[in-house]
Amino acid sequence: MGFEQLAQLKEQLSKQSTREQAKKPARPPRPATGAQKQPVDPVVHAIGRLQQRFPLAFSKNPAPKLPLKVGVIDDLLAKASDIGLTETEIRDAIKVWCRGARYWSCLVEGAARVDLDGNPTGNVSAADAGRARRLKAKGSARASTSSKPTVLKGQTKPPSAAGQ
């Protein structure tokens, strides 16, 4: 194919493309990239505030969490206006912070509990460590059962293995 034929083909394709564009309905303009962001969960926002204000007590991932002192919520509520969080936001943040395998892993018998400034204020009791082990085991058992494929009635293998 010569240059002249290529030029004609290019011209034909561009005309065809222009006609197809004219047939399509106009799309609304895309919003700015800032508008596409998902809203941040208020609890995540509150935990972020706690991490900024009290970095020795509320460590950022991947650092392990530290066992918080018993009654740390009272200390936080006393400083609520300084932190800029409401009582509900603080309570919700502490509930989420103290739930999950990362926190339960730090609750080992005899481990030092810390106050908001990271100072040791007591130790994890045997009862607290036992409760944390049970909660962690219960959570991992729940996670492992939910990841197993289900076998439908009449099948001997899970659907992914049945066709093999």
Domain holding 50: CATH number?
1.10.1710.10
User: Does 115 reside within a domain?
Assistant: yes
User: Does 137 reside within a domain?
Assistant: yes
Q: What is the pLDDT of residue 90?
A: 95
Domain limits at 77?
42-145
**Is residue 155 helix, strand or coil?**
coil
Q: What is the pLDDT of residue 28?
A: 64
Q: What is the pLDDT of residue 27?
A: 65
Cβ atoms of residues 79 and 87 within 8 Å: no
How many beta carbons lie within 10 A of that of residue 41, not counting itself? 11
User: Does 19 reside within a domain?
Assistant: no
Total of domains in the chain: 1
User: Does 159 reside within a domain?
Assistant: no
User: Does 6 reside within a domain?
Assistant: no
Q: What is the pLDDT of residue 40?
A: 80
The backbone torsions φ and ψ at residue 155, rounded to the nearest 5 degrees and listed phi first, read -100, 150
User: Does 12 reside within a domain?
Assistant: no
Q: pLDDT in tens for each of the 164 residues of the chain?
A: 677 887 788 888 888 877 777 777 666 666 655 555 677 889 999 999 999 999 999 999 888 999 999 999 999 999 999 999 999 999 999 999 999 889 999 999 999 999 999 999 999 999 999 999 999 888 777 766 665 555 555 555 555 544 44
User: Does 86 reside within a domain?
Assistant: yes
User: Does 1 reside within a domain?
Assistant: no
Q: What is the pLDDT of residue 100?
A: 87
Q: What is the pLDDT of residue 15?
A: 82
